[in-house]
Amino acid sequence: MQMETDGWSGYNPLKTEYPNLKQKLSEKGENFKMHHIQIRNFQNWIRGVHSYCNKEYMNKYQDEYFYRFNIT
């Protein structure tokens, strides 16, 4: 299975473990449209549902969002 990521250099060490890893530049989101849509949806959900977000609980907010996303 082909896996695609953006061009972040932090993925380079993974290439030995995942030979099908293909990196390409994001081109300001054009190459990863669905990813950027999910980021915007998450940001809007945080702003709409939670009027205040504590950095301490950010992982829990993300867990809740993706739980809800995967249920539907």
10-34 pLDDT, tens digit each? 888 888 888 898 888 888 777 788 8
Give the tokens for residue 26.
Answer: 């994001």
Please state the pTM of the whole predicted model: 0.55
Q: Using CA atoms, how far apart are residues 65 and 44, in angstroms rounded to an integer? A: 11
Q: Using CA atoms, how far apart are residues 14 and 11, in angstroms rounded to an integer? A: 5
CA dist 24 to 3, 4, 12, 29, 69, Å?
11, 7, 12, 11, 26
Structural domains of the chain, count: 1
Residue 72's pLDDT is what? Answer: 61
Residue 38's pLDDT is what? Answer: 84
Query: Which of 14, 47, 30 lies closest to 22, judged by CA?
Result: 14
Domain range holding 59? Answer: 3-71
Question: pLDDT band at 36, cuts 50/70/90?
Answer: confident
